[in-house]
Structure 1
Amino acid sequence: MGGNELRYVHQALDTNRISQYGSNIDEFENSLENYFGSNSHVTALSSGTAALHVALRMLNVEKGDFVICQSFTFVATANPILYLNAVPVFVDSENQTWNMCPEALEDAVKYCIQKGKKPKAIIVVLSYGMPFMVEEIVQISKKYEIPLIEDSAAALGSKYKDQLCGTFGDLSVISFNGNKIITTGGGGALISRKGEDKTRALFLSTQAKDGMEFYGHSEIGYNYRMDNVAAGIGRGQMETLEEKIMLRRKNHDFYQEAVKDNENIELFSAPNSDFFSNYWLNTIILKNNFPKENLRAKFSEDNIETRYLWKPMHLQPLFKGYEFFGNNLCGTLFDTGLCLPSGTNLTDESRNRISEVLQTKIH
């Protein structure tokens, strides 16, 4: 917590505004719109998943439609496609950013067109806060006139060529889940380029109530609006966002130093200066056939949590049978990678414990 969250929560309680109306929601959205700049219209919602679901609805995705989706991601990226009975088409990663491979994306687009149905959307993910190959992916999106949804759930504060992530998609998504760089406990935001798109997002996320004296409904809506208490936490979090980004990047500097002489470990880092990552999570690849389970077991012995990288969606039983395009680089990442402790509250004592494990000879 940054310090002022409790003040804004008390404000919600004192004014008896604890549900989906209140000044905290307005001010939180305003702070995000000011942060992202012009042509960014923010709708605060109950989760990043809800934002993705609403984004697909806004693009008129329906039963049987193709939606191209990055395979290397958390399941929340792909689930909303199934909510709408649409058909996910999964695309592999490239090795520089671990995000959507442009060549595989174009192959997927051509496949869908050959099947007689152009995809309704492309969902690109910014894995672990790393910007994607923006120019290449956006060019394909424009070439085939397919809207781009930018899943920047973990990439708040990341940039490509000094432009903030969350501003490249036709629609973009941020998450404020408890593990993200700032949090509202649970929550998310949909970022649209036009004011009328925000109006549409608000309509869909508040049960699609028609403008009548009674509750009239002509289409399906959802109870997805963020509440005023959660938004109060978000207001306080936004006041310390830059500090949190600095602390996450400080963690990355620590890991660079800790593994620089270890021939078996490669730290995932930005490919060049065009890519500014918030390093929401620091991740490593184990090389030279070094078994990741050995390192993970050593961390566990010292009561230090590590996690696997994302298991790609095309390898999940839930998505068995759906098309996948690429060379399964994302499967190799899953087989050889680990996520390391990366919180903004990581202490020097914790770093020392982590460093000791990384410098231990493990067989």
Structure 2
Amino acid sequence: MPVDVRHAPAPACLRPVSVPLSAPDIGEAENAAVARALRSGWVAPLGPEVDAFEAQIAARTGRAHGVALSSGTAALHLGLLGIGVGQGTVVVTSTFTFAATANAVTYTGAEPWFVDCCPATGNLCPELLEESLAQLAAAGRRVSAVLPVDIYGKVADLRRIGEVADRYGVPVLCDSAESLGARLDGRAAGSFGAAAAISFNGNKIMTTSGGGMLVTDDERLATTARRVASQARQPVRHYEHTEIGFNYRLSNVLAALGRAQLARLDDMMARRREIRDDYRRLTAGRDSVAVFQGADDRDDNCWLSSLLFADPAAVRIVTDRLAEAAIETRPLWKPLHRQPVFADLGRTVTGSADDLFARGLTLPSGSGLGADDRARVLDVLTRALDEVDGRA
């Protein structure tokens, strides 16, 4: 008998939510900053807010230059072009990440090669990176870049990754879209590699609605990125173009929003850490579940907090119970080598990313999450975990 889809329950991921995963945390400071930019008359792209925002993000990441752009994806694209990535080359990158990382590689004409992750962190595995570079070198493939990703606000093992890449003479571009404010060995996220890409998308640790930034110590790379991000227009009175450009610059109004958010970044990270600690206390003593990346997260920005279950079947139980209470959750990243659009591309995988995708669940983590909503999430989650453990 055919199912009447008009009355079928919506999948949990499509039901309306009242407690989002990571909503923008916007207040009076942001309202005032946007109003300031509007009053200044600098409404079109570029302006003094952009200049100041670039300088402030560069300083926060320990870089000499910042180029404010329309998205983190744009920053990846221009960063890859700036370090010489192009047609006929290979970029070795993480499989456990969002599609934008690999999409940016394809924009250049290069081909992604996917590498599996460390099970405890989700970040690119240095040993598998070395195996991949050796395999590609033996096959005569030209590798033009290594593109690691800082997953969920934890900086990848970029010292070891950099050492491996250096042995093969390959530059590193860091996808730091998720990790602004985090640190590794005392160094800021975004300070590693030839350049790094940051995202200010609406769900990130801080936002400009949409937006991103390319940070680097290479003046030539920064200068080139600024030029091609503005349609590669030459500095003459008429419209003169000697190369292909892109419409990638961030607006002055959104840069003002970003500056207000940046001033609150440390406080927003602290609030996300409080939420992470709530989940840590709630799962303590349970053999069925643990906080993903929670064993060593003192330097993370805690952008998103996730649970890792011993039994993959528990993910569905907890997802459904939270969805019934209008609380948003999301699986961990589906590996890119499993995405239909990338399924035919090369990879070096062990099953670690597949396992994380099967057993992980991301929970509400936003710094704007109020006390009542936090309490509701913890209450529903406790009952769901009791059901998983058979304790109810």
Query: Under a length normalisation based on structure 1, what TM-score does the superposition of the two structures give?
Result: 0.95
Question: Using the alignment, how far apart are the partners of 2:219 and 2:106 within structure 1?
Answer: 28
Instruction: Name the residue aligned to 1:328.
Output: 351
Alpha-carbon contact 2:289-2:309 (below 8 Å) kept: yes
Question: Using the alignment, how far apart are the partners of 2:265 and 2:382 within structure 1?
Answer: 32
Question: Using the alignment, how far apart are the partners of 1:162 and 1:251 within structure 2?
Answer: 24
Question: Using the alignment, how far apart are the partners of 2:293 and 2:380 within structure 1?
Answer: 21
State the secondary structure of the residue aligned to 2:253: helix
The one-letter amino acid paired with 1:284 is L
1:262-298, CA deviations, whole angstroms, 9 ceiling, x for partnerless residues? 221110135447x610110001111145431011111
1:230 aligns with 2:254: yes
Which one of the candidate residues 190, 204, 209 is aligned to 1:166?
190
Alpha-carbon contact 1:40-1:167 (below 8 Å) kept: no
- Give 5+ residue unaligned stretches, structure 2: 1-25
The one-letter amino acid paired with 1:306 is T
Question: Using the alignment, how far apart are the partners of 1:33 and 1:174 within structure 2?
Answer: 11
- Identity, in percent, stands at 35
Deviating more after overlay: 106-115 vs 73-82: 106-115
Alpha-carbon contact 2:174-2:196 (below 8 Å) kept: yes
- Give 5+ residue unaligned stretches, structure 1: none
Question: Using the alignment, how far apart are the partners of 1:337 and 1:272 within structure 2?
Answer: 18
1:91 aligns with 2:89: no
Instruction: Name the residue aligned to 1:299.
Output: 322
1:281 aligns with 2:298: no
The one-letter amino acid paired with 1:8 is A
The one-letter amino acid paired with 1:351 is R
Aligned length: 361
Instruction: Name the residue aligned to 2:58.
Output: 33
Q: How does 1:258-277 map to 2 (within 5 A)?
A: 258-272=282-296, 276-277=299-300
Question: Using the alignment, how far apart are the partners of 1:8 and 1:309 within structure 2?
Answer: 34
1:354 aligns with 2:377: yes
Query: Under a length normalisation based on structure 2, what TM-score does the superposition of the two structures give?
Result: 0.89
**1:2, distance to aligned residue in structure 2 (A):** 4.4
Question: Using the alignment, how far apart are the partners of 2:295 and 2:188 within structure 1?
Answer: 17
The one-letter amino acid paired with 2:330 is R
Instruction: Name the residue aligned to 2:176.
Output: 152
- Kindly report the root-mean-square deviation, in angstroms, between the aligned alpha carbons of the 2 structures: 1.5
The one-letter amino acid paired with 1:60 is G
Question: Using the alignment, how far apart are the partners of 1:2 and 1:140 within structure 2?
Answer: 44
Instruction: Name the residue aligned to 1:188.
Output: 212
Instruction: Name the residue aligned to 1:48.
Output: 72
Alpha-carbon contact 1:270-1:276 (below 8 Å) kept: no
State the secondary structure of the residue aligned to 1:168: coil
